[in-house]
Amino acid sequence: MKQTNYLHPALFTAPTKNMGEGVYTKATLNAGTLIETAPVIVMSAAERLLLDKTLLHDYIFVWGDDEKSCALALGYISLYNHSYASNCEYEMDFKRGLMSVKTVRDIKRGSELFINYNGDWNNDKKVWFETAVTA
């Protein structure tokens, strides 16, 4: 049986100054390190419309090749904060219902880990909460 969840032993969560809770490391991590794999709870397009009206909207990911469904990632994945200069990236495995996070650069002990909510670690397109503020 293949393992469906993994959490690097150096990871922990703690409050941030401006973004609620965040994910941090208590050890130096090298670029290319797998730090988490977690199962997801997939919800239909109809359920996504309902979730978009709740606080859970801030924690779900667009899911599926058609991008109509959504998923709530378990583990720490929904707690990684956004940065356009992220130090991690995530990958979705639609077939197995998993998300994984790995580092894209070396990360110093005590640092917060960030993902880019656009999916690509170097994508600078404005994310939903920035476009909603200016609209």
Q: Say if residue 46 is exposed, middle or buried (CB neighbours under 10 Å; 0-12, 13-18, 19+).
A: exposed
What is the CATH code of the structural domain delimited by 6-134? 2.170.270.10
Q: How far apart are CA 89 and CA 104, in angstroms?
A: 7
Domain locations in the chain as residue ranges = 6-134
Percent with pLDDT over 70 in the chain = 86
Give the pLDDT confidence of 15-69 residue by residue, as tens digits.
Answer: 998 888 999 999 999 999 999 999 999 999 999 999 989 989 888 999 999 999 9
Burial class (CB in 10 A: 0-12, 13-18, 19+), 33: middle
Q: Return the number of other C-beta atoms located less than 10 Å from residue 88's C-beta.
A: 23
Distance CA 24, CA 43 (A): 28
At 120 the pLDDT is 59
